[in-house]
Structure 1
Amino acid sequence: MTTAAILTAAGGGSRLGHVLPKALVPLAGVPLVVHAARRLAGSGVVDLLVVTVPAGFAEEFGRVLDGARLALPVTLTVGGSSRQASVAAALALLPPDVDVVLVHDAARSLAPASLIARVAQAVRAGHRAVVPGAAVTDTIVQVAPDADGGPLEVVANPDRDALRLVQTPQGFDRALLDRAHAAAAARAGDEDRSATDDASLVAELGEVVHVVPGAAEAVKITTPRDLALAELMLGAAQGETS
């Protein structure tokens, strides 16, 4: 039995205010992609890693990942025009003995090794599609346009105890994930129609997606404020272990 991790790192860094691709933006002096890759390698459940990278940056990604001295094989592949296309390209490179696949975002670079292991173990236990979900602490409302063109109207107040914020890594039985991507392949090249995560593709097949507890550290880094908060979070974690 072999577990592969696909690390999506092909996005741009414009929303972070950077000319570098997002995954190469430093967090406490270390690129986001390296933080994420180290935690995947340190989870003890990943046997090989495929990283999707932007066109023209394979050499730089290769250099920083080689420098990370990860204790597992790493393959790079150029990402596609959407996240869905990037994951599909990475799936095509996995050897046939891989039976569990974790799909992770480099933007969630501080997702802890314990979370990664929890997702993989749930798949190994027979749950073929697993996502980590963080509890919702704010009040969430569903809105709709006002009939007279005024402010949006609240039309529903979902029970937040029944809601979760979906994180990564998401874990899958490899055959199921292959089938889900094959079924949605026609949409992969269209950014507007492509899936924003892999669990939604699996759900479209009518398959059950299971949720395990998420982690506060697995927040997505998208804006300069997110990066600053991640720096504080990382510093606090290092202080606790020193």
Structure 2
Amino acid sequence: MAWAVATLLDGGVDEVVVAAPAADHEEFARALPAGIRLVVGGATRTDSVRAALGAVPGDAGAVLVHDAARPLTPPDVVGRVLAALAAGAPAVVPVLPVVDTTVVVDDDGVVTDAVPRAPLRRVQTPQGFSRVVLAEAYDDLPEGVELTDDAAVVRALGVPVRTVAGDERATKITVAHDLALAELQVAR
């Protein structure tokens, strides 16, 4: 978590709000730099984003949502997201091209089609938004609806989402193999 926060600060973010379980707040407070605002996270990602968004000052022009599971995101990715927002994009996500062949598989595990990969992208974080747009999108999202990321919440409102170049180092750490690769990166 501390590395993900450092990435945001090093990339040009002025204020950071972290959503964390209430039981872990003391531990988070010890690990994070002074001035980081902690809020109680929710049972779901959507609930946690709503809680953090509620702690963002109303006069904030832009909001970035970043996954702690992407602690090695380079600060220049944050800078690209902020620059796109400053240039007028209401929503922006860092992306990488899909390089593997991607197929559609039926219920029996049989390949039924190959998807053209040229227009496909892998979405990363931090995802950036006009604060007003993100707040409106979450206000419009029905209770109990869970989308995979904040860009999907904004797209559901009909807002176009721009893209900027992501970075392979911003890989999400979700399984042991991901952690092993991240540790190799840090050890270099």
Between the aligned residues of both structures, percent identity stands at 45
Q: Which amino acid aligns with 1:219?
A: T
1:134 aligns with 2:102: no
**Partner Cα separation in structure 2 for residue 185 and residue 169 of structure 1:** 24
1:203 aligns with 2:171: no
Residue 51 of structure 1 aligns with which residue? 18
**Partner Cα separation in structure 2 for residue 174 and residue 229 of structure 1:** 34
Residue 110 of structure 1 aligns with which residue? 72
Residue 182 of structure 2 aligns with which residue? 230
Q: Secondary structure at the match of 1:52?
A: strand
Q: Which amino acid aligns with 1:52?
A: A
Instruction: Note the 1:64-75 alignment, pairs <5 A.
Output: 64-66=31-33, 73-75=35-37
Instruction: Note the 1:1-242 alignment, pairs <5 A.
Output: 33-43=1-11, 45-66=12-33, 73-145=35-107, 151-187=108-144, 193-236=145-188
Consecutive unaligned residues in structure 1, runs of 5 or more: 1-32, 146-150, 188-192, 237-242
- Contact 1:131–1:171 at 8 Å: present in 2 too? yes
After superposition, give the CA deviation of every residue in 1:16-67 in whole Å (9 maximum; x if it has no partner): xxxxxxxxxxxxxxxxx01111111111x2110000111300000001114x
Consecutive unaligned residues in structure 2, runs of 5 or more: none
Q: Which amino acid aligns with 2:81?
A: V
Q: Root-mean-square deviation (CA), in Å?
A: 1.2
**Partner Cα separation in structure 1 for residue 142 and residue 37 of structure 2:** 23
- Contact 1:119–1:131 at 8 Å: present in 2 too? yes
**Partner Cα separation in structure 2 for residue 125 and residue 143 of structure 1:** 40
- Contact 1:83–1:195 at 8 Å: present in 2 too? no
Larger Rg: 1
**Partner Cα separation in structure 1 for residue 86 and residue 71 of structure 2:** 24
Q: Which runs of 4+ in 1 moved over 3 A?
A: none
**Partner Cα separation in structure 1 for residue 103 and residue 14 of structure 2:** 42
Deviation at 1:155, TM superposition (A): 2.8
After superposition, give the CA deviation of every residue in 1:145-195 in whole Å (9 maximum; x if it has no partner): 2xxxxx3232321211211111000000110000110011412xxxxx412
Give the length in aligned residue pairs: 188
Q: Secondary structure at the match of 1:115?
A: helix
Q: TM-score, normalised by structure 2?
A: 0.95
Residue 16 of structure 1 aligns with which residue? none
- Contact 1:132–1:170 at 8 Å: present in 2 too? yes
**Partner Cα separation in structure 2 for residue 155 and residue 211 of structure 1:** 30
After superposition, give the CA deviation of every residue in 1:126-151 in whole Å (9 maximum; x if it has no partner): 11110111111111112222xxxxx3
